[in-house]
């Protein structure tokens, strides 16, 4: 557009329109959190909309953003006003659960049936799936005009494109995340501290740590991580639960 006979830059347009709008919605991970445009070394000095405007921004991430997330958010704003948002200003109706919790292959994870290579129809966790740390409803909403598929259904791991850390924090895409993150886990800090060192050494994630702590997941670790799994199971259970087997 133009203002006073001169072209407006994208930054100026966002600042002027954003200041006058009733609501501001950041569509896609780049607008919401920086995304690939702000990836290191970020030569363009790109920023998320929330760092450009001094006001509340509703974030609708995804790379690309699912059309249903955008139309649903806009429709809610028109008919009912602002939807319930999480701590990152994402609509809870679309970003209220991790992909891992909603995944159709969750039962494979629970039963230690892991894909060994891209294209296999099993749990993609060992191939670097970022579903455990990515909040979005991709498994139930899916993609394309008829909502027929999504990355894991197409036998490739989730790369976390809707997460605030995407892409830098999710790389390498096909390797385990090296640290232990505990999204929304309800565990005492001392119990988390006792398990962190061993879990990190194994290269397994927070949801797996939580399963071990609650006594729900010894078989998955034993079968999914080789012949020494039984030894690690017992060590982890003693560290986290104590010798009596209780928290």
Domain map (residue ranges) of the chain: 8-95, 97-177, 189-241
pLDDT of residue 178: 59
Closest CA to 157 of 141, 173, 171: 173
- Please enumerate in sequence order all residues whose Cβ is within 8 A of that of 244, keeping only pairs 6 or more positions apart, or say none: none
What's the pLDDT at 21? 96
* Average pLDDT of the segment spanning 74-96: 98
pLDDT (mean) for 127-135? 94
Domain 8-95 classified CATH 3.40.50.700? yes
Domain 97-177: give its CATH architecture: Irregular (4.10)
* Confidence class for position 227, pLDDT limits 50, 70, 90: very low
| Distances from the Cα of 56 to the Cα of 8, 84, 96, 235, angstroms | 23, 13, 19, 47
Strand, helix or coil at 98?
A: strand
Using an 8 Å Cβ cutoff, are 40 and 168 in contact?
yes
Question: Who has greater pLDDT, 3 or 149?
Answer: 149
Amino acid 58: pLDDT: 98
Q: Tell me 53's DSSP state.
A: S
| 58-60 vs 25-27, strand pairing mode | parallel
Torsion angle of alpha carbons 179, 182, 188, 189, nearest 10°? 40
The widest CA-to-CA distance across the chain, in whole angstroms, is: 78
Query: Taking Cα atoms as reference points, which of 90, 88, 101, 92 lies closest to residue 139?
Result: 101
Exposed / middle / buried, residue 171 (Cβ in 10 Å: 0-12, 13-18, 19+): middle
pLDDT tens string 111-120: 989 999 999 9
Asked whether the predicted pLDDT for residue 54 surpasses 80, the reply is yes
Q: What is the pTM of this model?
A: 0.72
As a whole number, mean pLDDT of residues 210-234 equals 46
């Amino acid at each position: 557009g133009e203002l006073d006979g001169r072209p407006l830059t994208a930054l100026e347009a966002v600042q002027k329109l954003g200041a006058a709008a009733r609501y501001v919605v950041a569509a896609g991970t780049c607008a919401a959190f920086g995304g690939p445009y702000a990836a290191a070394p970020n030569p363009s000095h790109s920023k998320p909309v929330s760092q450009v405007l001094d006001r509340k921004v509703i974030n609708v991430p995804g790379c690309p953003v699912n059309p249903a997330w955008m139309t649903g958010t806009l429709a809610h704003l028109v008919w009912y006003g602002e939807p319930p948002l999480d701590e990152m200003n994402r609509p809870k109706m679309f970003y209220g659960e991790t992909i891992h919790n909603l995944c159709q292959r969750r039962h494979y994870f629970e039963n230690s049936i892991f894909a060994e290579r891209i294209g296999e129809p099993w749990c993609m966790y060992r191939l670097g799936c970022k579903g455990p740390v990515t909040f979005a409803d991709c498994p139930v909403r899916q993609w394309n005009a008829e909502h027929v598929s999504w990355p894991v259904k197409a036998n490739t791991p989730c790369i976390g494109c809707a997460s605030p850390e995407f892409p830098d924090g999710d790389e390498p895409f096909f390797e385990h995340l090296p640290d232990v993150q505990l999204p929304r886990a309800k565990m005492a800090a001392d119990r988390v501290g006792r398990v962190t060192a061993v879990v990190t050494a194994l290269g397994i994630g927070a949801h797996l740590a939580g399963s071990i702590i609650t006594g729900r997941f010894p078989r998955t670790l034993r079968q999914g991580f080789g012949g020494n799994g039984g030894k690690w199971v017992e060590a982890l259970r003693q560290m986290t639960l104590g010798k009596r087997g209780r928290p």
